[in-house]
Amino acid sequence: MKNIKKNFFGYAAIALTLVMVTVTAFAFSTPVSTAEAEAVTISENATIVTSPFTAAVQQVRSKVVGVNNYTEQMTGGSNYYNPFGSFGFGFPFGYGYGYDYSNPYGEGGESKEVLQGSGSGVVVAKGYVLTNYHVIEDATRLEVVIDEQTYPAQLMGTEEATDLAVLYVDGLTVEPVVLGDSDKLMIGDWAICIGNPLGFTGTTTVGVISALNREVTGNATDAYGKRATNLMIQTDAAINSGNSGGGMFNVAGELIGIPSLKYSSGSGNGASIEGIGMAIPVNVAKPLIQDVLAGKGNVQSAPAQESLVSGGKPRLGVSVSNMNTSHYAVAQGLLPKGAYISAVEEGSPAEKAGIQVGDIVVEIDGSIISNTTQMTSYLQSKQAGDVVKIKLYRVDGGLNNVEGNDIPKGEYIDLEATLAVLDEVQQ
């Protein structure tokens, strides 16, 4: 009997609780009046809150374009290559015995065009697009992408050391950006980055200028193949693959930098890294832009060979050989490409000018020298008595005594030599 009463009161308590919950729910679910509903309706004239970046982004977003890099790749075929040939300096050999120079890709080789990569660019003048050198490097064909439409682009000028390049697109109607003054930037200034990361066109990220004049040694090399150290703008605005060559703007919509690289966790010693991106100051790009617009684009090609001068071949009086580009020090940009001086004749113009064994000639009269053929051809086009300006790279003590990959820091030296006809012809 006691159990029956106990159960009865328990069930009654549960029922009462359910009734109270139901009444409460009904009370809260009672429809509001029409007047009350109108009171919470959003006004058609509601205030629109914009950020301090909105106007700048609207002004410049359409002026940041995509850049596609196409290259030719060989498939199939075979040839004999000696990977152990010539790891020293000053030897022209890199291929093994039996290598067919007339058919470097071997029998059955087939050429195929592939999209090597995509980046970004900024319209800086009518028809001209500024981008990164590494975006267009080794391209056999270039395209600029605007609103999913592609346009053929022509390379007009490059500066590998600063990782910059300028393209020209015939008929491009996009209005150019306004170039700002990166020398006036201050740490803490706003930074707006616009580009095409992973193909998402016109992506906008915002941050601040985290630091100025950061010394960065990247994969880019100077005009002679030696890795260069550049002063860059650090920002915490997100920079991702595809942002390279895009624009970094201030809140006035002026171009202040060109995003070039970012650091990730893989860039350090296992540490977690976030929000460290680098941009090239726009003032660094201005000389290249001005040269291209003035018709002085510096896309390099080998000096043209001219007929030999009658009355003998003027020479420096040196023996030269190519730098082995597969050697670690050259491949990593620790040493430039060029013509390696392996011998200097006594009493020659070279000796009188101060050229030494172990020097690497990288430029003559403003023409870049990447190999011995270019150097010889250029000098043979000159006459005895001509004065040539020579830029060379020199490591203190020369390179013959260098062991392993421990390359001392060298320097570029400018010399002048007066060519002469010498009795014994070498190079």
Which positions are catalytic? 134, 163, 244
Dist. CA 295–CA 293, nearest whole Å = 5
CA 349 → CA 23, 352, 414, distances in Å? 109, 5, 15
Dist. CA 221–CA 162, nearest whole Å = 8
Exposure class string for 251-278: b at 16+ Cβ within 10 A, else e: bebbbbbbbbbbbeeeeeeeeeeeebbb
- Residue 244 CB neighbours (<10 A): 27
Q: Which residues contact 354 (CB under 8 A, 6 or more apart)?
A: 415
Distance of CA 159 to the CA centre of its chain: 10
Contact criterion met (CB below 8 Å) for 139 and 116: yes
Across 252-371, the runs of DSSP E, i.e. the strands, are: 254-262, 277-281, 314-315, 318-322, 339-344, 360-364, 367-368
CA 200 → CA 8, 35, 131, 148, distances in Å? 68, 46, 17, 11
What one-letter code names the amino acid at 257?
Answer: G
Give the SS3 label for residue 24: helix
Q: Which residues contact 404 (CB under 8 A, 6 or more apart)?
A: none
Dist. CA 67–CA 40, nearest whole Å = 49
